[in-house]
Every structure is written in C-alpha cells, then in structure tokens.
Amino acid sequence: MIEYVVRRVLYGLLVIALVTVFVFLTLRLIPGDVVRLQLADAPGVTQEQLDARAAALGLDQPLVAQLLKFLGDAFTGDFGISFQSQQPVTSIIAERLPITLQLGLMALIISIALGVPLGLLAAYKQNSWLDQSLRVVSVAGLSIPNFWLGLLLVTYLAIWFAWSPPLVYRSPTEDLVSNLTQMALPALALGVSGMAAIARMLRSSLLEVMRSNFVRTVRAKGAPERTVLLTHAVRNSLVPVFSLIGVQVGGILGGTVILESIFAIPGMGSMIFQAVQMRDYPVVLGAVVVFGAVFVTVNLVVDLLYGVIDPRIRYA
C-alpha cells in the first residue's frame, strides 16, 4: 500500500515534469516575445536596452539551460520571478490558488450534488418522460462548452433580471455572501458537464446493477426495496461513477482559465490567461506545475478511496 502510494507519487512527479517541458517548449513557439511586449512601444528604445532586459530576465541563455534551471529551481519550490510584476511566482500562486480551489470545489460539489440524484431518478423512472427529459438535459450539459454557458448566464441574468454578479472579488472571510454570489455562476457553468456525465454514468450503472444476481438475492432475503436500492444497488453503481470524478477535476481546472476571466475572479485561471497574453513564462509554468500537482493528487486520492468502497481493489 505504502509502496503503491510512493510509486504513484513518483509517476506523478514524472508526469508533471513532462507536462512542464512540453508547456515550456510550446510557450516559446507562440509568436511575440516578452521583451518586445514590455519595451517595444516605448519611444527610443535601443537594441542594447532590449538585450539588457532579455539578459535580466535570463532569456539570453540557451533554451536548454533555461529549461534545466527552471526545472531545478521548481524542484525546490522556486518558480522564479514574474516578468510582469517582479514578484516571486510562488507568492503570487499562494495568494491565488485558494480562490481557484474554492471555485473548483464548488463546481465539483455542484456536479456531484446534482448529478447523483438526477442519475438515480433517471434510472428509477426508467423510460418515463422524466428519464427522457433528463437525457436531453444531460446531452445538452455534455455538449455545451462551459465558457459559453458562463457567458449565457451572465448575459441573460442581466437582460431578464437586470442582475449581475459582483465584479469585485471579496474573500470568504471578508464577505461570504458577496464571495459566494460571485462564485456561484462560474461554479455552475463549470459543474454542469460533470453533472451530466455523472447522471448518465450512474443511470446506466444502476440499471445494470439492478439486473444483477446479487440484487435478486437481497430481494429473496425479504429486504424492502429501500434496502435493495440504497444499501446494495446504489453503492455498487457508484463504483464506476467514482472514477469519473478524477477526470472531472481536469476539466474544471482547465475551465477556470476562461471562467475566472469572465467573472473577474483573481484566481489561478485568470492569472494564467493574463500571463499567457504577456508571455510571462515563469507564471505560466508555475501554474502548470501546480495544476498538474492538483490533478495528480486528486486522482491518487480517488484511486485510494476506490479501495474503500470496493474491497476487490487491491493496491500492488
């Protein structure tokens, strides 16, 4: 078990390192460079000044040297200094990560809290009009991109109800109501596809379990339908749904980039959005490492919890 966790962590580190290298290289393929973005428009800039700025940012070194330096520093928890704000990337992330984690968690809770009951309902009322309409809702939820849903929500709430969420971020400790009001719409937009996926998966999984032999055994014992369903069928049908949650987290993290920007939430997502625009390489790379670490950790936790609900799963 411990051996398994250690191995998974090492694999995770390898995955993060590979993703970092990949992102590092693709960033450099984007046209435009940071020095010109920062200085080119200033009148009377000399080539010497541009070179000096590039040297100050460490961009005069060969690419491989830059990459190795970043990886080496990142391993000790140092992601360098932001090209833009001149602050350590680590402290910027420390400030913004909790905001994104809150948003992501809210999105995950929404997808589970809505997806599970809807899936159970659809299975329980199989082939009814309710099941059919839930099917439509699910397919729509899976097909609509989350940023588009976010835009629709803002636009139509403003048009129909002349209401828009607060545009200045308040931390939960400062003003909980304002904080939650601002987070609610992006969290909903991020959670809908997860909700739809969970509902669909749970429906088919539960229908399959209800036809299985052990459910018949439970009925033959004289158990009421409530016990059959809640104690035995639902728990068994949740096993495949559970693995969906790990995948969800990836989608949610990716979705924050645009949704945080739309809703003016100063989290990791909007930070990545701005950093890419400004070619602020250390910030983008720092964010990638952190998102990678969150994703890998969540999936490890999901896999470990798997063993808690299903005793057949052994870690080796």
Assess contact for 252 and 108: CB atoms under 8 A.
yes
The least distance separating another protein from the CB of residue 215, rounded to whole angstroms, comes to: 8
And the tokens for 167? 């545009």
Binding marks (x or -) toward another protein, 236..265, rule CB under 8 A? x--x--------------------------
69 part of the interface to another protein, by CB under 8 A: no
Nearer to another protein among residue 111 and residue 205 (C-beta)? 205
Report the C-alpha gap between 170 and 266 in whole angstroms.
Answer: 10
Phi, psi of 81 (to 5 degrees): -110, 140
Which of 218, 293, 300, 304 lies at the binding interface for another protein (CB under 8 A)? 218
And the tokens for 305? 């919890």
The least distance separating another protein from the CB of residue 2, rounded to whole angstroms, comes to: 22
Nearer to another protein among residue 129 and residue 312 (C-beta)? 312
225 part of the interface to another protein, by CB under 8 A: yes
224 part of the interface to another protein, by CB under 8 A: yes
What 8-state DSSP symbol labels residue 254?
H
The least distance separating another protein from the CB of residue 6, rounded to whole angstroms, comes to: 26
Nearer to another protein among residue 41 and residue 314 (C-beta)? 314
Binding marks (x or -) toward another protein, 155..194, rule CB under 8 A? ----------------------------------------
216, amino acid identity: R
Strand, helix or coil for residue 144? coil
Residue 176: half-sphere exposure toward Cβ, Cα within 13 Å: 1
Assess contact for 279 and 34: CB atoms under 8 A.
yes
Nearer to another protein among residue 76 and residue 213 (C-beta)? 213
Report the C-alpha gap between 99 and 116 in whole angstroms.
Answer: 26
Binding marks (x or -) toward another protein, 70..109, rule CB under 8 A? ----------------------------------------
Which of 140, 216, 230, 301 lies at the binding interface for another protein (CB under 8 A)? 216
Give the Å distances, CA to CA, from 212 to 80, 120, 200, 216, 219: 56, 17, 19, 7, 11
Report the C-alpha gap between 251 and 104 in whole angstroms.
Answer: 10
Binding residue count for another protein, defined by CB under 8 A? 24
Strand, helix or coil for residue 149? helix
223 part of the interface to another protein, by CB under 8 A: yes
Contact positions vs another protein (CB under 8 A): 211-214, 216-225, 227, 231-232, 235-236, 239, 309-312
